[in-house]
Amino acid sequence: MVTTYAMYAMHFLRIDEDNNGLFVEVPGMSENWFKVRVDESGLVPTSTHCRCSHFAHKGHCQHTQIVDAFYVRIYKSNVVKHQESIVKANEKALEQAMNEAEMQELAYEEVAFSEQVLAATEKDQTPLIVTPAPVATPPVLNGQVQVPAWLAILPSYQRRQKSKVA
């Protein structure tokens, strides 16, 4: 098994704290150490700065990568738990949404039912007062009145035709 620099460095990390907060010292290839600043406010601490020149140019370096990998490894259970809690929260939200949809459907059914009751009551007791819709004068073609299909099926139109016949 080949020991990479990252494996070696991770093995010898020194974690410490000063007035500026948490930092990790990462051993370099020769006897130098790189101080990597860490932000521990999140779920998993993440590197924010390294003093090496690569970081200065690129915004990341192998030292910060090693520190990040290290924290992801030791905070693994936190991450897993966090992801599980997200999944659970999503499931709960979904369940709630489904319940609400079901309640809404029940409410609609109730409204539909009471409308049926109302309609039945109106039919039985009071004559329905229907204001005839204004009917446009049908166009005359070859002496025959052309009635658009949508007009012919209107109850108000049908009633007019009947009263004409009567």
Residue span binding Zn ion (CB under 5 A) among the ranges 5-13, 16-24, 63-71, 73-81: 63-71
Min CB(9)–Zn ion separation in Å: 10
Residue type, 33: W
Which residues between 14 and 53 bind Zn ion (CB under 5 A)?
34, 50, 52
**Cα 58–chain centre separation:** 35
Torsion of CA 109, 112, 117, 122, to 10 degrees: 170
Beta strands in the chain (DSSP E): 14-18, 21-27, 33-39, 46-50, 140-141, 144-145
Nearer to Zn ion (CB atom), residue 67 or residue 157? 67
Nearer to Zn ion (CB atom), residue 55 or residue 157? 55
70 binds Zn ion (CB under 5 A): no
Number of residues that bind Zn ion (CB under 5 A): 6
Min CB(46)–Zn ion separation in Å: 14
Nearer to Zn ion (CB atom), residue 32 or residue 144? 32
Contact call for residues 47 and 36 (beta carbons, < 8 A):
yes
Which residues between 88 and 107 bind Zn ion (CB under 5 A)?
none
What span, in angstroms and rounded, lies between the C-alpha atoms of 46 and 52?
Answer: 17
Contact call for residues 156 and 135 (beta carbons, < 8 A):
yes
Q: Contact positions toward Zn ion, by CB under 5 A?
A: 34, 50, 52, 55, 61, 63
